[in-house]
């Protein structure tokens, strides 16, 4: 089992999660495979140690334990796994990164049809 980053990260990518992951298993894909998104981060399920540290850090609420991934994001579990063994790096959070507002977070969830 592993944690999964969902589409709630897509285009948001404030990169708070990589700062706390103790095993550096949260990646940005760098290759040419168009089936693997580059505009969101992905967790390598073989390296994740299920510590939960990344979940409270993500202001967009984009990270879930695999068993808790909402139905609307079910395909993201498999998409995260595509990053295993691929060209990738662990990005660093920019110093000037701003936090999203509660309204932006709500609108992003609505965009993907996710109701908590």
Give dist(CA 76, CA 112) in Å, integer: 12
Token pair recorded at residue 105: 């977070």
Binding mask 25-64 toward ligand SF4 (x if CB under 6 A, else -) reads xx--------------x-x----xxxxxxx--xx-x-xx-
CB atoms within 10 A of CB 2: 17
> Least distance from C-beta 86 to ligand SF4, angstroms?
16
> Least distance from C-beta 47 to ligand SF4, angstroms?
7
Binding mask 5-24 toward ligand SF4 (x if CB under 6 A, else -) reads x---x--xxxxxx--xx-x-
Applying CB under 6 A, does 69 fall inside the site for ligand SF4? no
Residue 8: exposure state from Cβ atoms within 10 A (0-12, 13-18, ≥19): buried
Which residues, at least 6 apart from 1, have a Cβ–Cβ distance to it below 8 Å? 45, 50, 65, 66, 67
The binding site for ligand SF4 (CB under 6 A) comprises: 3, 5, 9, 12-17, 20-21, 23, 25-26, 41, 43, 48-54, 57-58, 60, 62-63
């Amino acid at each position: 089992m592993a944690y999964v980053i969902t589409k709630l990260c897509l285009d948001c990518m404030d990169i708070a999660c990589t700062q706390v992951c103790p095993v550096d298993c949260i990646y940005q894909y760098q290759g040419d495979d168009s089936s693997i998104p580059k505009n969101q981060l992905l967790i390598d399920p073989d390296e994740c140690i299920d510590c939960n540290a990344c979940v409270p850090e993500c202001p967009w609420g984009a990270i879930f334990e695999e068993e808790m991934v909402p139905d609307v994001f079910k395909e993201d579990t498999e998409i995260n796994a595509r990053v295993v063994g691929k060209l990738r790096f662990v990005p660093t959070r920019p110093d000037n990164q701003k936090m999203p507002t509660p309204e932006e977070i709500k609108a992003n969830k609505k965009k993907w049809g996710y109701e908590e």
